[in-house]
C-alpha cells in the first residue's frame, strides 16, 4: 500500500534471496547495500517486509542482523503487523501455500484453477496457527530484548481505512504525501 506513493520505500520481502536476487556468496556488507538499494525510493526512504525466518536466514548465511544494522545506520520506523483473526490468518496462509497465490497481485495463474486446488486441511491450518503465533512471539521478544520501539498495526484496521494508514505512516516518517498519490485500488498496490 505504501509503495503506491513512490515516497515510502519499496516494500517487499527483500531478505528472501529469490526476491533480492542476491548471490549466496555475497558478503554481509554487499548484501546489506543491495537490500538498501532495492528497497529505497528516490527520496532515500527504504521499506522491507521481514518475517522471522528471513532474519534468521540472513544471520545464518551472512552473519549479521539486518535490523540491528539498519538501526546503526538510520533512524527507522518499525511497524509490527498482526491479524486479530488468527484463524483467518491461518486459513489464508494455508490457501496461499496450497494455491501458490500469496497475494491478490502475485499472479499465480488463473484464480479459478488456484481456488480449485485448495483443500481445507485442519492439520495444516492448525500448524499455520501455531507458526503465526510463534512468529508474533518472536517479534515481541526480539523487539523487547533490544528495546526497539515499534508501532503495532492490525490488518483488520488497515482494511477498514488503508488510505488513512498510508497517510499515518507518512506522517510518522515526516514524508509529505498528497492523498491523491495513494492508489484507489487496494489490491493494485499490495
Please check whether residues 51 and 134 belong to one and the same domain: no
Query: What pLDDT does residue 185 have?
Result: 65
Three cell numbers, residue 53: 525466518
Residues 137 and 156 in one domain: no
Helical ranges in the chain per DSSP H: 17-20, 28-39, 52-62, 66-73, 86-99, 111-116, 122-145, 155-160, 162-172
The answer to whether the beta carbons of residues 72 and 78 sit under 8 Å apart is no
Per-residue model confidence as pLDDT tens digits over 32-43: 999 999 999 999
The pLDDT of 114-120, averaged and rounded, is 68
This prediction has a pTM of: 0.84
Same-domain status, 141 and 156: no
Structural domain boundaries enclosing 152: 1-78+148-190
Q: How confident is the model at residue 189 (pLDDT cuts 50, 70, 90)?
A: very low
Give the torsion sign (CA, 89, 92, 94, 100). Answer: negative
Q: How far is CA 62 from the centre of its chain?
A: 21
Amino acid at each position: 500500500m505504501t509503495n503506491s506513493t513512490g515516497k515510502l520505500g519499496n516494500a517487499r520481502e527483500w531478505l528472501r534471496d529469490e526476491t533480492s536476487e542476491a548471490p549466496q556468496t555475497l558478503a554481509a556488507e554487499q548484501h546489506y547495500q543491495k537490500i538498501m538499494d532495492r528497497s529505497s525510493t528516490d527520496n532515500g526512504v527504504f521499506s522491507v517486509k521481514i518475517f522471522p525466518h528471513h532474519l534468521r536466514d540472513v544471520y545464518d548465511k551472512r552473519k549479521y542482523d539486518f535490523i540491528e544494522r539498519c538501526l546503526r545506520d538510520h533512524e527507522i520506523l518499525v511497524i509490527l503487523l498482526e491479524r486479530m483473526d488468527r484463524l483467518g490468518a491461518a486459513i489464508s496462509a494455508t490457501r496461499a501455500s496450497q494455491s501458490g497465490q500469496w497475494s491478490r497481485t502475485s499472479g499465480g495463474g488463473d484464480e479459478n484453477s488456484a481456488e480449485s486446488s485448495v483443500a481445507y486441511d485442519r492439520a495444516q491450518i492448525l500448524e499455520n496457527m501455531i507458526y503465526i503465533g510463534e512468529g508474533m512471539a518472536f517479534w515481541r521478544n526480539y523487539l523487547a530484548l533490544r528495546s526497539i520501539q515499534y508501532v503495532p498495526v492490525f490488518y483488520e484496521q488497515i482494511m477498514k481505512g488503508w488510505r488513512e494508514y498510508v497517510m499515518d505512516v507518512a506522517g510518522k516518517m515526516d514524508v509529505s504525501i498528497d492523498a491523491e498519490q495513494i492508489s484507489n485500488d487496494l489490491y493494485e498496490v499490495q
